Amino acid sequence: MRPPHPLILSVFCLMSITSCGSSSSGTGISAGPADDSRVTARSEIFSLSTPKPTPGLIGGDSVDFVYVADIASPAGASTTAGVPVQATSLSMNAANQVAVVYNMAGPSVGGALEIIDFSTPSKPSIKSTLIYKTEDFTDVILGNGVAYVTGGDDINGALLKTFKIDSKGVATETYSTTVQGYMGVALALNGNILSVITGNNGGVYQYNVQNPASPVALGTYSINDATDAFYFQSGLYVLGVNSQPGIFALNTAGSGSFSLAAVFSSGLDAAPARAVVDGNFVVTTASSNQLGVYSQNHAGTFSSVGATALQGDGNGLAAVNNAAFLAQGYVGLEWADLYGSMNPAPTWSNLPKGVTAPANPSVSPVIRGVFEFVNDPGSANQVLYAEINKKPWWLMADGERGLRWFRQKLRKHLKASMTYSPAAEYDDERLVAMTESFKIPSTLDV
C-alpha 271/C-alpha 259 separation (Å) is: 22
Residue 434 has pLDDT above 70, yes or no: no
Q: 296 falls in which pLDDT band (50, 70, 90)? A: low
Integer angstrom CA distances of residue 136 from 32, 45, 109: 16, 34, 6
Q: pLDDT over 70 for what percent of the chain?
A: 67
Integer angstrom CA distances of residue 420 from 341, 408, 436, 438: 35, 20, 8, 6
Residue 332 has pLDDT above 70, yes or no: yes
Q: Which helix (H) or strand (E) holds 117?
A: strand 111-117
Q: Which helix (H) or strand (E) holds 66?
A: strand 62-71
Integer angstrom CA distances of residue 94 from 20, 117, 161, 340: 21, 11, 21, 30
Q: What is the pLDDT of residue 336?
A: 83
Q: pLDDT over 90 for what percent of the chain?
A: 26
Q: What is the pLDDT of residue 311?
A: 80
Higher pLDDT, 186 or 443: 186
Question: What letter represents residue 418's amino acid?
Answer: M
Q: What is the pLDDT of residues 57-79, one digit of tens each?
A: 333 445 677 888 899 998 888 88
Work out the average pLDDT over 8-16: 24
Q: What is the pLDDT of residue 276?
A: 82
Q: What is the pLDDT of residues 380-418, one digit of tens each?
A: 899 999 888 878 889 999 987 799 998 877 554 444 444
Residue 258 has pLDDT above 80, yes or no: no
Q: Three-state SS for 222?
A: strand
Q: 187 falls in which pLDDT band (50, 70, 90)? A: very high
Average model confidence (pLDDT) across the chain: 74
CB of 356 within 8 A of CB of 344? no
Q: What is the pLDDT of residue 37?
A: 78
Q: What is the pLDDT of residues 265-294, one digit of tens each?
A: 755 655 667 888 776 678 888 766 788 887
CB of 227 within 8 A of CB of 233? no
Bridging pattern class, strands 125-132 and 136-142: unpaired
For the ranges 99-103, 189-193, 382-386, the one whose mean pLDDT is highest: 99-103
CA angle, corner 92, sides to 88 and 96, nearest 5? 135
Closest to 67 (Cα-Cα) out of 10, 124, 6: 10
Q: In what order do the strands lie in the sheet with 366-371?
A: 316-320, 323-327, 333-337, 366-371
Work out the average pLDDT over 211-218: 95
Question: What letter represents residue 58's amino acid?
Answer: I
Q: In what order do the strands lie in the sheet with 226-232?
A: 226-232, 235-240, 246-251, 259-264
Bridging pattern class, strands 39-49 and 216-222: unpaired
Closest to 269 (Cα-Cα) out of 226, 323, 244, 306: 306
Q: What is the pLDDT of residue 285?
A: 84
Poorest-confidence range of 13-27, 75-89, 97-111? 13-27
Q: 324 falls in which pLDDT band (50, 70, 90)? A: confident
For the ranges 27-31, 202-206, 302-306, 369-373, the one whose mean pLDDT is highest: 202-206
Q: What is the pLDDT of residues 131-159, one digit of tens each?
A: 999 999 999 999 989 999 999 988 889 99
Residue 19 has pLDDT above 70, yes or no: no
C-alpha 343/C-alpha 298 separation (Å) is: 21
Q: What is the pLDDT of residue 173?
A: 96
Residue 368 has pLDDT above 60, yes or no: yes
Question: What letter represents residue 241's amino acid?
Answer: V
C-alpha 293/C-alpha 363 separation (Å) is: 8
Q: 217 falls in which pLDDT band (50, 70, 90)? A: very high
State pTM to two decimals.
0.80
Q: What is the pLDDT of residues 242-252, one digit of tens each?
A: 777 888 888 77
Residues 182-198 as b/e (b if ≥16 CB within 10 A, e otherwise) read: ebbbbbbebeebbbbbb
Question: What letter represents residue 97's amino acid?
Answer: Q
Give Cβ neighbours of residue 81 (< 8 Å, ≥ 6 apart): none
C-alpha 159/C-alpha 151 separation (Å) is: 6
Poorest-confidence range of 57-61, 210-214, 228-232, 353-357? 57-61
